[in-house]
Structure 1
Amino acid sequence: MTDVGLNPILIVDDSDDDCEAMMRALKRGTDVANPIVRFDNGQAALDYILAPRSDGNPGPGPRPALVLLDLNMPGVDGRQVLRAIKADESSRTVPVVVLTTSDDDWDIHNCYAEGASTYIKKPVELDGFFKAVGVLKDYWLQVALLPKA
């Protein structure tokens, strides 16, 4: 598993059920060593990632190793979160995986245009969801080399 200094994996999703399933899928098989931090709204995620700390560096916590982002949330939605992460030089290289129910061509095109690393439609069935997150976990945390800063 990647550790990138054991930087956290952020889940940004307002659905408690989807978040619980994602966490179970991430812990299934080989446990993820990285801490998992969940935000149920886009503004809280942006505050964590982008708000300046007292030392002048961005974010109150460690730089995320990976962001798993839902698009359809009230308030600051996933599209706005993606745009803000990729617009900020300090977070631009953080991989953002869009994991959402939308398979709309406009959403897919625009998320990639805004810098999404991957776009995955959430499977409806739990087994399919576990399989999708398992493949995602294997690729992003075992195969891909992630930036340290």
Structure 2
Amino acid sequence: MDGVVDILLVEPNPGDTRLFTENFRDAKLLNTIHSVSDGESALEFVRQRGEYADVPVPDIILLEPQLPGTSGMDVLAELNCDSVLREIPVVILTSSKAGEDIVKDHDLEGDCYIRKPVAPEEFVDFVQSLEEFWFAIVRNPVDSD
């Protein structure tokens, strides 16, 4: 691993996507953010199919459960059924405790649940918590070469 973290952001709201991208850049984390806005694109991305044939397999996935078309729950279920893809840590982005409960009600589990920030200053805390999560799991890296 070259120290750069490839993050796949699955977020249908363009405003939230922009906020994520800008704040990650401002936090000067060593990462590359790839974003898609729906579940089908997320699955194509992680499987490196179609227009995503040349993208890296993400090191971590930030997943909004409420997606158009293929839902975040469907994406998580498909990832969990694939022996290679299930190794990718998935952070479920929720806007409330209820969002976390909805995911768990589907008998699915993310690796981590993080409540979406509302105010820009909360975003700094959010980015730092993601960074801490990443460093916690990087001690047990999956060889993706």
Structure 2: give runs of 5+ residues left out of the alignment.
none
Match of 1:73 among 51, 67, 72: 67
Is the 1:9–1:35 Cα contact (8 Å) retained in structure 2?
yes
TM-score scaled by structure 1? 0.79
CA shift for structure 1 position 25: 2.2
Structure 1: give runs of 5+ residues left out of the alignment.
54-58
Please say if 1:38 is aligned against 2:31.
no
CA RMSD of aligned residues (A): 2.4
User: In the alignment, residue 79 of structure 1 is paired with which amino acid?
Assistant: M
Please say if 1:49 is aligned against 2:46.
yes
Equivalent position SS for 1:92: helix
**1:35 and 1:124, CA in 2 relative to 1: closer, same or farther beyond 3 A?**
closer
The residue aligned with 1:56 is none
Residues matched between the structures, number: 139
The correspondence of residues 1-149 of structure 1 with structure 2, limited to 5 A, is: 3=1, 6=4, 8-29=6-27, 31-50=28-47, 60=53, 61-104=55-98, 106-110=101-105, 113-140=107-134, 142-145=135-138, 146-149=141-144
User: In the alignment, residue 129 of structure 2 is paired with which amino acid?
Assistant: V
Equivalent position SS for 1:8: strand
Which stretch has the larger CA shift, 63-72 or 127-136? 127-136
**Segments of 4+ moved more than 6 angstroms:** none
Q: Deviations over 1:1-29 (max 9, x none)?
A: xx467462100001111111111222233
TM-score scaled by structure 2? 0.81
Is the 1:42–1:77 Cα contact (8 Å) retained in structure 2?
yes
Q: Deviations over 1:85-128 (max 9, x none)?
A: 111112010000001214216325247x4241101121222211
User: In the alignment, residue 30 of structure 2 is paired with which amino acid?
Assistant: A
Percentage of pairs with the same residue = 26
Which stretch has the larger CA shift, 64-73 or 126-135? 126-135
Q: Distance in 1 between matches of 2:6 and 2:68?
A: 24
